[in-house]
Every structure is written in C-alpha cells, then in structure tokens.
Chains A and B, each alone.
Chain A
C-alpha cells in the first residue's frame, strides 16, 4: 500500500534552535499533506494543511512564523520548528491522502531541552 515516511523519527535539540522535519509520500504524489501534533495522552490536533506550490493553511492558534511549512514538490513537505522551546516538545505526524484513504507517517518525536 501507499507509504508516507518521516525523517527524522526523533530529535533532541537545545532551546532556541530550529528543527526541520521531512514528510515524503513514497509511491504516490500528494498535492496536499497535513501536519498534526500530538501531546501525550491526547488526540491528534491539525496544525496546518500543506499545499504543493502554494502557501500552507494554518489552523487557528498555530503561529505560521514559528512552524514554517514548505511543500516544494508533489512528494515532499517539510515542517520547520523555528526557535524551538520546551513547550514545542511533542509528537509531530504528517499525513497524505490517496484516493479515499488517509495515510499517516510514522511520526517524529521532538524533545526540546
């Protein structure tokens, strides 16, 4: 079946640094990808919708200047957490739709010290 990959799977960084997370659709093209964040014991929360060749659409309360999204090709979207702080520590998941099925990446666990 279709596969969505993420890299890295986990990252530890110091406060104030920027972290880039890649999301790739491995065997299909995705004009739209979704970025979610999940805190422990909580459900997934949509952060933004990434659109190939155009600006991402951010959910209310998500700072677009802090969470930079680039969807430069039909198979790659990147999420950059700029000037990361400990409260940004979370599990970040991307997703893409093929047909009627939504495929999720394996997630990236971010820990900001």
Chain B
C-alpha cells in the first residue's frame, strides 16, 4: 500500500463543474503539498498545508490531520484546469523530502 493515495485516478468534468480530488496518507506528516503538472511536464506548487484550509482564486485545499486526509477543490472548472494534480506529503522527521501520490488526471471539457 502506498503511503499516499489519491482518488480518483482519472476525472472528466464539464466546464463549470465543481471538482474534488482526494488524498489520503498513512504516515505522520509535517506538511502536505498540492501540485499541478501540465501536459508538457512542468510542475507548479499550488498549496502547502499543515492544517485547516487555504484558498487561492478558484482553488481550495483542506486538510484534516486527525483523519490523514486532504481535498483539493476547483470551483467553476475551466478547460485550462486540465492537468495532473499531485498530492505530496513531507513525513514527520524528514527534513525536506516529499512522498508523492500517483496523481489525478483531470480533463475539463468545454
């Protein structure tokens, strides 16, 4: 069993839909990251969370430390949101290294 599990693996949505991607992890962590990887391969860091909730534009990320679970929400989705979304955790005691989930491929159709 992977330390970081994401669901769903693939998600297709219509433009405008509200999207949720889930991430569960099995180890104690000091931080959780949500990353976006575009088709060309480039990776952008969207959020870093250690508790609670963060919002940036149409993106919202939440984390429940007790339940070892995080969600990434996209409101009013747009085709340009199509990408792979990756959850990554920094295990407690690991200075800077991340453990990555397998990613969720999101396709938003116009």
Contacts and interface: CB of A to CB of B under 8 A. Distances in A.
A91 interface: yes
Contact of A104 (B31, B44, B97): B44
A101 B45 contact: yes
A43 B103 contact: yes
Contact of A100 (B41, B48, B88, B102): B48
Interface of B: 31, 33, 35, 40-45, 48, 86, 88, 96-98, 100-103
Nearest to A91: B41
Contacts, number: 45
A34 interface: yes
B98 A102 contact: yes
A100 B86 CA distance: 17
Contact of A102 (B40, B45, B101, B103): B45
Interface residues of A, number: 20
A107 B97 contact: no
Interface in A36-95: 38, 42-46, 49, 91, 93
Contact of A43 (B45, B86, B96, B97): B86
A44 B86 contact: yes
